[in-house]
Amino acid sequence: MFNSIKKIEQGSSIDHVINHYPKLKRSFLFLVVQEYYRNYENHNRILLNYIHNKTSKNILTLLKISLTLLFFSNKPAFAIVNDSVKEGKFLKKEKLVNAVLRNILRDKYKIKYDKFIYPDFKKILDKIFSSNSIRDYVYSTLFTKPENYQISLIDKEDALYGKRVFRLEKKIIKGCFVQDVGNFEVINTVHKFFKNKNLIDVCAAPGGKSILLNSLGFNVYAIDKSQKQINKFKENINRLNLKINIQQIDFLKKRFTSRYDSILLDAPCSALGTFRRNPDVTVKIDKPDMRKQQKTQIQMIEKSLKILNKNGFIVYIVCSFHPFETIEVIDKIMQKHKNIRLHNINSNKMIKRQNGYFINPLSFKEIGGSDIFFVSVIEKIR
């Protein structure tokens, strides 16, 4: 557990780390790691009553894992303390770990869990959502297990939303694929900008958006740099019996001879908007890394502009609400390129901000909330 948290802290995703464990252990570990990150700031505050502020980061991590197990698992307390003290021995602090955990156990029924949010994450969220009701709802979704959705390839009257969206229960229904409702909303709203039912999806894998567009009657040319992600995409289209042209191509390196009227650019990003499923993103906001990512996002829009026909559209999407990856990216593009303009989007489920729109999770409250996406529609006018 300690090593898993270390790997996640160094940049791996929760899924990636958990998938290295035997299948039987995965769901328990997944739940514990998710609760570890959901309660990261709660645990920081609880521990302030038991340790001094010079305690090393490794010991803090170990104590936070113990707290998560004590309060969110059925594992017996003595086993949790024993395991932690053993781990504490490697860090030469077994006495400290033992003493702190015994004190916590003594207070177990007095300890209250509040809803404290990691300050860096809260600051960014508050920048984007100024309404208190939206903020409070988004905060609350950080502490609950998210609803999972599946999208039907065809319209169905008994759907939860948009004639396509269903809850994902135990198994995927035949003719459905897994996708967040926010993702569905973005594509369902912006697809009207794509001309002649044709488009190139330049960061397409694992295929959520391409598959939805294909089901809406679009001819999609899908490319992605990652073979591993493309394999997942192919599994999906084989299961659904679809025909989509997918090629492994690095969009930034490829020399295109064709020009396009419609480009979908679902750019790589921090995935901050998926914090309900990946709560580790809330404590891993790394500014230098985001600046680097921003450079790539800008390069990708510029490459898209190069291969776009006049009066063609780029739909830029990220599953993030960090200004670096959203408002600022478009700002920098607008300053440099005078031959473009932005378009308005018509959705009562999104909030308009400078340069684009953010999904409003509160508008999906009735069906369990949504991830947060940013979308901006760019037209090349000259």
Ligand X SMILES: C[S@@+](CC[C@H](N)C(=O)[O-])C[C@H]1O[C@@H](n2cnc3c(N)ncnc32)[C@H](O)[C@@H]1O
Residues that bind ligand X (CB under 6 A): 202-209, 224-226, 229, 250-252, 266, 268
Which lies closer to ligand X via its Cβ, residue 39 or residue 270? 270
Residue number with CB closer to ligand X (107 or 250): 250
d(C-alpha 289, C-alpha 278), whole Å:
18
* Residue among 40 and 373 whose Cβ is closer to ligand X: 373
- For the CB of residue 207, give the shortest distance to ligand X in the complex, in Å: 5
**64 or 284: whose CB is closer to ligand X?**
284
Question: Are 296 and 318 contacting, i.e. CB atoms less than 8 angstroms apart?
Answer: no
Q: What are phi and psi of 255, to 5 degrees?
A: -95, 110
Residues 282 and 233 sit within 8 Å (Cβ to Cβ): no
- Which is closer to ligand X, CB of 144 or CB of 247? 247
Minimum CB separation of residue 165 from ligand X in Å reads 15
Residue with smaller CB distance to ligand X, 271 or 340: 271
Nearest to 315 by CA among 209, 235, 234, 173: 209
Angle of the 94-106 helix axis to the 77-90 helix axis, nearest 10: 160
What 3-state DSSP class applies to 225? coil
Instruction: Please give the structure tokens belonging to residue 166.
Output: 């269903």
Output the smallest distance, CB 139 to ligand X, in A. Answer: 25
Q: Which residue has the tokens 């936070």?
A: 64
CB of 349 to ligand X, least distance (A): 18
Cα–Cα distance, 314 to 323 (Å, whole number): 19
Q: What does the DSSP 8-state code read for residue 113?
A: -
CB of 256 to ligand X, least distance (A): 12
